[in-house]
């Protein structure tokens, strides 16, 4: 039997070398067939070469984003949340203003340490609050008392090297926060690639009857570049969730809805396996008898010199 030569890579071309040899022995008037066949072979070979080079280039431009935390060197970041706008009115606005004013700011330290199983421990640790007797509203004293009773750790969870939450038992809101602060793409990515963020910002209870449910969750790698010799990746986040309908009670026909929108720009240091910076905006709209809208800004900045008291907190 004659040999068969197959040229593929998804193109489906196949040539029979016996046919090519037979054509070459035909009279001179038919040599055009062999010439055309050879020309086609050259074109296909050139195309395959281009595809191979393109595929190789694409593979070289892919990057794997992973946390890199050494056993003896935890990572720490200052995490700040601040309410920058709100249209709350009436008694709710009066109550919030009586406590801390219309704009509130909350600062924590996000601490990551390596666990014996290879995963990472993530803790959000609040700065210490001292009793402020000059606070006539008593808010500072109340928060200081709560901190003495419950400690300074506001969140404690666990992730793997890709930032995926492994502490499945946590409340959904806490898992959302961990995903926003720590989650990275599961696979290697190149510029322009997108993937979803595993966070559910809206959830309802009971017999809620939804007539609208919209969800968009996209994270995109927009830039790769070097900074001080380190490879850095810039990411853009775009999340939107909107649910509206009725609570299911026959006695209440009020139409209600809730929506969340989260946008964020972050820079991940691929070489060091840590964030350089992260800044996001979370907008929440809640419609029941009235419409309440708030907007928060959050930021994450690396701390090079971690306070010793932070490392000692269990």
49 shares its domain with 119: no
57 shares its domain with 165: no
| pLDDT at position 219 | 98
* Residue 208 falls inside a structural domain: yes
* Residue 257 falls inside a structural domain: yes
| pLDDT at position 14 | 37
| pLDDT at position 138 | 58
Tell me the C-alpha distance between 144 and 151, whole Å.
10
91 shares its domain with 195: yes
Do 105 and 81 touch, CB atoms closer than 8 A? yes
* Residue 69 falls inside a structural domain: no
Q: For the segment 269-306, what is each residue's pLDDT rounded down to a tens digit?
A: 999 999 999 999 999 999 886 778 999 999 999 998 88
289 shares its domain with 145: yes
Using 50 as the pLDDT threshold, list the residues of the chain that sit under it. Answer: 1-33, 52-58, 90-91, 95-103, 149
| pLDDT at position 5 | 35
| pLDDT at position 144 | 54
Do 286 and 292 touch, CB atoms closer than 8 A? yes
81 shares its domain with 193: yes
21 shares its domain with 88: no
Q: For the segment 114-139, what is each residue's pLDDT rounded down to a tens digit?
A: 999 999 999 999 876 665 555 555 55
Query: Which DSSP category does 183 fall into?
Result: -
| pLDDT at position 312 | 72
117 shares its domain with 48: no
16 shares its domain with 153: no
| Residue 23 belongs to domain spanning | 4-61
55 shares its domain with 118: no
Number of domains forming the structure of the chain: 2
């Amino acid at each position: 039997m004659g040999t068969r030569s197959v040229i593929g890579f998804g193109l489906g071309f196949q040539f029979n070398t016996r046919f090519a040899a037979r054509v070459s022995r035909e009279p001179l008037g038919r040599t055009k067939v062999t010439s055309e066949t050879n020309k086609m072979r050259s074109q296909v070979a050139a195309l395959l070469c281009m595809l191979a080079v393109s595929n190789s280039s694409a593979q070289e431009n892919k990057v794997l984003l992973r946390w890199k935390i050494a056993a003896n060197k935890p990572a720490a970041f200052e995490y700040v949340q601040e309410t920058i706008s709100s249209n709350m009115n009436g008694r709710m606005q009066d109550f919030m203003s009586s406590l801390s004013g219309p704009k509130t700011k909350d600062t924590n330290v996000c601490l990551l340490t390596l666990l014996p199983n290879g995963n990472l421990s993530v803790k959000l640790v609040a700065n210490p609050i001292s009793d402020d007797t000059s606070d006539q509203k008593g808010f500072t004293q109340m928060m200081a008392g709560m901190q003495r009773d419950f400690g300074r750790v506001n969140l404690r969870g666990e992730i793997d090297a890709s930032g995926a939450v492994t502490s499945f038992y946590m409340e959904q809101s806490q898992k959302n926060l961990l995903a926003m602060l720590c989650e990275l793409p599961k696979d290697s990515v190149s510029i322009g690639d997108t993937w979803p963020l595993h966070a559910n910002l809206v959830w309802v209870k009971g017999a809620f009857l939804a007539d609208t449910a919209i969800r968009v969750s996209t994270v995109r790698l927009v830039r790769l570049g070097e900074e001080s010799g380190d490879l850095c990746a810039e990411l853009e986040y775009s999340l939107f969730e909107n649910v509206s309908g009725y609570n299911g009670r026959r006695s209440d026909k009020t139409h209600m809805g809730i929506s969340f929108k989260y946008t964020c720009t972050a820079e991940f240091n691929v070489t060091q396996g840590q964030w350089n910076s992260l800044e996001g905006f979370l907008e929440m709209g809640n419609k029941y008898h009235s419409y309440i809208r708030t907007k928060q800004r959050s930021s994450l900045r690396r701390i090079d010199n971690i306070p010793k008291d932070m490392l000692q907190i269990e």
